[in-house]
Amino acid sequence: MNTRTAIAGAILSAVVFSPLSVSQVAAAEPLRLSITSGLADNHAVPTIVRTHFQDEVTRRVAEAEGGEIVWDEMHAGTLTRMGGALEAVEDDLALIGIVAVNYETQRLPLQNLTFQMPFTTESCAIVGAAYQAVHANVPGMNDALAAARQTFLSGIASDGYNFISVQSIRNADEVRGLKVGMVDRVEAWIAGVEGIPQRLPDDTMRARMEAGVLGAAVLPTSEIGRLGLKLQADHYTRTGFGSQVPFVLTVNTARLQALPDAVRTAIEETSAAFTQSAAQAYCDAGDAALADLKSQGVRTTKLLKTRRFQWADHLPPLAQLWAAANDAAGRPGSKAVALYMDELREAGVTLTRDWSRAAPPSTLEAAAKELSQAPVK
């Protein structure tokens, strides 16, 4: 860590650690709150957090006559790269972190829960609510975050993960032998049907496609649009892999408790509503990106029900393997998977595969026979 960063962190810590009454805050200089991530400034998530979390906290504090809030945003390598937000908040260099769970699997082994269960639902709201319920109701779910001196505020559910490719992908067979780029840890989704997963930084994806190294990428549709991958690949496949939770919002616990009452209350109350508003905003971003892809002439198709069943049945029992490894380490893996599945069922989701079971019988024969070539509506 360089001297400038250390000094900046010390200043931020000093500002936030000074507990003031509401009247004192109102008469004082603006209170500076800091937030960090390794995400690019034009990524959907910093915008969502700014408009649905930061702005709401600011509004609530002003309404409570708690003074003026100024946000110090540190994204895109300003303070940390991808995978460094957890440590930055732990080290008091920022109050709040947007933590990328797939970059923190060693320290946060439970938070990448949803990625063990593809083919659930494309509803960001349902996925976000189920993820939140697991963190609220499964003892031990937040222990790793507590060990990092942080409090869990909310999961951030993304729009659905889909393919952009140089060739049509209508079923699992068309992925066999294909090199597929990805940012998140979804290698098993591709390797399970004999594709070749290539995990890469997002800013290298387009160049790899242009060079012919990659034949496809699997990403949230909002990311497909942001990265401009349609310039190299003109086939889009709506997969049904579904919404995931690639990010969680956390806050330094000690610094949260040291904040003025009005500010602390605003953060806690805002986080309770943020899960749903963030989910809706993320899905809206995906819808906008898809509309743009279509307007640019990208050819669209989808995996129909029979193809999704086939694909899911080809995959190993991802959630059970993940749960067993966590259980063996004394963490509540099986309880987390079971509750997540229960929450989805209670929300009305028809599961393509029940990931809480090790080897569920295929329901393919019960599915309606459909043509995989049918276009997306």
CATH, residue 261: 3.40.190.170
Alpha helices in 124-233 (DSSP H): 124-137, 143-147, 187-191, 205-210, 221-226
pLDDT at 357: 86
Has residue 174 been placed in a domain?
no
In the chain, the percentage of residues whose pLDDT exceeds 70 is: 88
Nearest to 138 by CA among 333, 273, 268: 333
CA distances from 53 to 34, 249, 253, 316 (A): 13, 10, 18, 38
Has residue 54 been placed in a domain?
yes
DSSP 5: H
Radius of gyration of the chain, Cα coordinates, nearest whole angstrom: 21
Are the C-beta atoms of 72 and 32 separated by less than 8 Å? Answer: yes
* DSSP bridge pairs for 34: 72
Amino acid at 35: I
pLDDT at 49: 98
Q: What is the pLDDT of residues 305-358, one digit of tens each?
A: 999 999 999 999 999 999 999 999 999 999 999 999 999 999 999 999 999 987
Other C-beta atoms lying within 10 Å of the C-beta of residue 352: 24
- In this structure, what token pair is assigned to residue 174? 């068309």
Are the C-beta atoms of 317 and 273 separated by less than 8 Å? Answer: no
Buried b / exposed e along 311-320 (16+ C-beta atoms within 10 A):
bbbebebbbb
Q: Give the angle 349-127-337 at the CA atoms, nearest 5°.
A: 80
Q: What is the pLDDT of residues 177-187, one digit of tens each?
A: 999 999 999 99
What is the CB-side half-sphere exposure of residue 179 using CA atoms within 13 A?
A: 11
Has residue 199 been placed in a domain?
no
How many structural domains are present in the chain?
1
Amino acid at 342: D
**3-class DSSP assignment, residue 274:** helix
Has residue 310 been placed in a domain?
no
Rounded-to-integer distance, Cα 110 and Cα 140, Å: 10
Has residue 97 been placed in a domain?
yes
Among 2-11, 103-112, 238-247, the range scoring the smallest mean pLDDT is: 2-11
Token pair 């309770």: residue:
272
- Whole-model pTM over 0.85: yes
Has residue 128 been placed in a domain?
yes
| Cβ neighbourhood burial of 297 (10 Å; 0-12, 13-18, 19+) | exposed
**3-class DSSP assignment, residue 24:** helix
Has residue 207 been placed in a domain?
no
| Cβ neighbourhood burial of 357 (10 Å; 0-12, 13-18, 19+) | middle
pLDDT higher than 50, residue 366: no
pLDDT at 359: 60
Average of per-residue pLDDT across 218-227: 97
Amino acid at 374: A
Rounded-to-integer distance, Cα 69 and Cα 318, Å: 44
pLDDT higher than 70, residue 212: yes
Has residue 305 been placed in a domain?
no
Domain hosting 38: range is 3-103+123-157+246-283
